[in-house]
Copies of this chain bind each other. A is one copy, B any other.
Amino acid sequence: MSQPPKQSADHPVPTSTDVARLAGVSRATVSYVLNNTSAVRISEPTRRRVREAAEELGYVPHAAARSLRAGHSRMVLLPTSHVPVGPLYSRFLNEVQWALRALDYTVVQYGSLGLGADEAARAWAELRPVAVLSLGEIALSAHGVQVLKRSGAKAVITLGPQRVEGAHALVMDQRAIGSAAARHLLERGRRAIGVVVPAEPGLELFSRPRLAGVRRTVTTAGEASGARVEPLTMAYDEESAARLAAGWGALGLDAVYAYNDEYAQLLMRALQDAGVDVPGECAVVGADDLLLGKLLRPRLSTVHIELPTGREIAELVDRVVRDPDGEVERHDLMAAHTVPRESS
C-alpha cells in the first residue's frame, strides 16, 4: 500500500483463460462457445456456464490476438490528412464508412499527419489492413503501394486525381470540374478567365488539376477566340480576398472560377465590396454545389460534382479483397456539370 501506484497489476484484463477457469472448461471450449463454432457440438449447460462466466468477468476478446492467429483482419484503413476537405467530401467519406461496415469491415481512419509518402505507407502496413482506401488527399507512392501489398493488403485503392502505379485507381479527374466551369464561361462570352488557386497547403492535389482543366478547355475551344487564363492565389480569409479584389481592375478579367463555392463566396463578397458588379463586370463560378451557393445574392453558379456512392466504393473494395489478382480495373468517374445561376 505504501508502494507507488501498482500500475494496473490489480486490474488484470480478463482473458479467455480466466473465463475457462471460472466456467470449469478448457480455453478451446470457451472459444467454441463464444464464436458459435458450428463444426463442434457443445452441450447447452456448458454453453450457459461459459456465457455466464464471460459476462461476469466482463470478458472482451482481444482483436489483435485473434487476427494474429487468423492471419488476416477485416480492417480497412482510411488514411486521413489534416486538410480541411470540405463538406462534400466529408459526407462522401461517411457514406463509404457506412457501406463498409455494412459489409462487415472494420473501418479505421488513421491520421498520418506530417509523414512522407513512404513513411506513411510503412506505418499503415504495420497495422496489416486487408485494404487501404486512400482518398487522394494523401500522398501514396508506387513504392508505398508495394510495401502495403507485401504486407498483405489485398486491396490498395486510390480515389483521387492521379493514378498510382500498382494500385487500383478510381480516378476522379478533377480536371473535369475546371473544364465544365471554363466551358460554361466561354459559352457566356467571357474571354479573360481568372482561376482562384487556394493558398492553403494540401489542396494542390485538387486545385492544380482543376486549373489544368480550365487551361485545357480554353486552349482547345477558345483558340480562335483569344481567350486567356489567369491563375490567382488566394487564401481562405478576408484580407487575402480583399487584396485580390483591390487589384481587380488591373487584371482585366471578365470572369473567375473560384475553386469551390466557399472560396467563391469569399471572393464574390470582396468583389462586391470593391465595387465590382457581379455578374455584370465579372462572372463568378464556384464548385461543389453547396447549399450556401443558393443563399447568396446573386445566386452562385457552380459546378455540380457527381461522386460515386459509398456503396459503389465499398463494393469495389470488397470485390478486390476477394479477388486481389483480378484485372486492375480502371474507373473514370466524376461526372461534372454546370449549374448556372445568377452569378455568371
Interface residues of chain A, those whose CB is within 8 Å of chain B, are 5, 8, 11, 13-14, 58, 60-65, 67-68, 73, 80, 82, 84, 87, 90-91, 94, 97-98, 101, 106-111, 113-114, 122, 125-128, 146-147, 149-152, 154, 236-238, 262, 265-266, 269, 291-292, 294-295, 323-325
Contacts and interface: CB of A to CB of B under 8 A. Distances in A.
Given A68-B62, A238-B291, A109 B126 contact: no
B80 A84 contact: no
A64 B67 contact: yes
B122 A60 contact: yes
A167 B291 CA distance: 38
Chain copies in the assembled complex: 2
Most buried by B among A82, A122, A147, A237: A82
A97 B11 CA distance: 28
A152 B15 CA distance: 11
Nearest to A114: B101
A78 B61 CA distance: 20
A324 B122 CA distance: 31
A205 B109 CA distance: 23
Nearest to A266: B295
Given A13-B152, A90-B90, 17 more contacts: A8-B324, A58-B146, A58-B147, A58-B150, A63-B126, A63-B127, A64-B64, A64-B128, A80-B109, A82-B97, A82-B98, A84-B90, A84-B91, A94-B111, A97-B113, A109-B110, A265-B295
A94 B82 contact: yes
A235 to B, nearest CB: 11
Contact of A150 (B13, B107, B238): B13
A60 B98 contact: no
A241 to B, nearest CB: 9
A154 B294 contact: no
B64 A68 contact: yes
Contact of A60 (B67, B80, B113, B126): B126
Contacts of A266: 291, 295
A292 B291 contact: no
A298 to B, nearest CB: 13
